[in-house]
Amino acid sequence: MSLVFASIVPHPPILIPNIGKEQISQIENTKQALEKLEQDLYSTQPEIIIVISPHGEIDPFAFTINQADEYEADFENFGDFETKLKFRGDTILMALYKEKMIKSKINIISNKKLDHGTAVPLYYLTKHLNNISIIPIYFSMLDSQAHFEFGKDLKEVILDSEKRIAVVASADLSHCVNEKAPLKCHPAGKIFDQKIIKLIEDCDALGIINFDQELAEKAQECGLRSIQILAGIISDIKCQPDILSYESPFGVGYAVVSINVNY
């Protein structure tokens, strides 16, 4: 079994204690869900975590795989000059199976500095995985079907590997859910979040691929493409999603989803 774990997680920097401070209490459900997810992930004993982030080096016309020997992350852009993270890279997996991703347009980079879309989830999910290797991946601006096909290509790589691999789709949902939102509140925000969560609950890959793009744009989301790639990865695999939490205290939808994969 090479795919041992899959999940969808949010990435607000406010989850980092030195940034959020007392405000973390307002997203306690999300924090507790991530702590539960961390336990679930640890129990699968992964060797590699693939993180799909919306905030890395986005190439509009290609999917980006960030391959470095090691990575580092900090949160200085958010006022935290103390929290530092370091991770090992895995430069072998994608190189060995690059031919399996020939259908997708791929851009290979090597950047040791991690974006917050990758770093925030890893802060919570790797607390007890000291020797874990990671592979950061960034989506493109290609269409939904391209993201799904790229996910299917990644699945071939994962299933052919002897490594125990976990996949984390880093995805905040709508940024205009209510009046506390960083962007102007819009009815599409709440509708988007409700619809995407229902599709995830139902494991409805087709619904996720064919999601109403106009609604997504009005909702000002930043995670649909990450979820579409994940949908490709778990396509044709028996899975059971569990919505551990959903809340939007700051007007941005935060969902934590554990996906039990069996095949």
Question: Distance (Å, rounded) from C-alpha 154 to C-alpha 161?
Answer: 11
Question: Distance (Å, rounded) from C-alpha 66 to C-alpha 127?
Answer: 22
Question: What are the tens digits of pLDDT across the range 231-246?
Answer: 999 998 888 999 999 9
Residue 262: pLDDT over 80: no
Q: How confident is the model at residue 105, as a pLDDT? A: 86
Question: What are the tens digits of pLDDT across the range 51-73?
Answer: 999 999 999 999 999 999 999 99
Place 196 in a pLDDT band, splitting at 50, 70 and 90: very high
Q: How confident is the model at residue 74, as a pLDDT? A: 96
Tell me if residue 166 falls in helix, strand or coil. strand
Exposure b/e, 45-55, CB count within 10 A at least 16 = b? ebbbbbbbbbb
Mean pLDDT of 209-216: 96
Q: Considering the chain, what is the average pLDDT of its residues?
A: 93
Q: Name the burial class of residue 162, with classes exposed (0-12), middle (13-18) and buried (19+) by CB atoms within 10 angstroms of its CB.
A: exposed
Name all domains of the chain by residue range, CATH numbers in brackets: 3-262 (3.40.830.10)
Positive/negative CA dihedral, 126, 163, 200, 169: positive
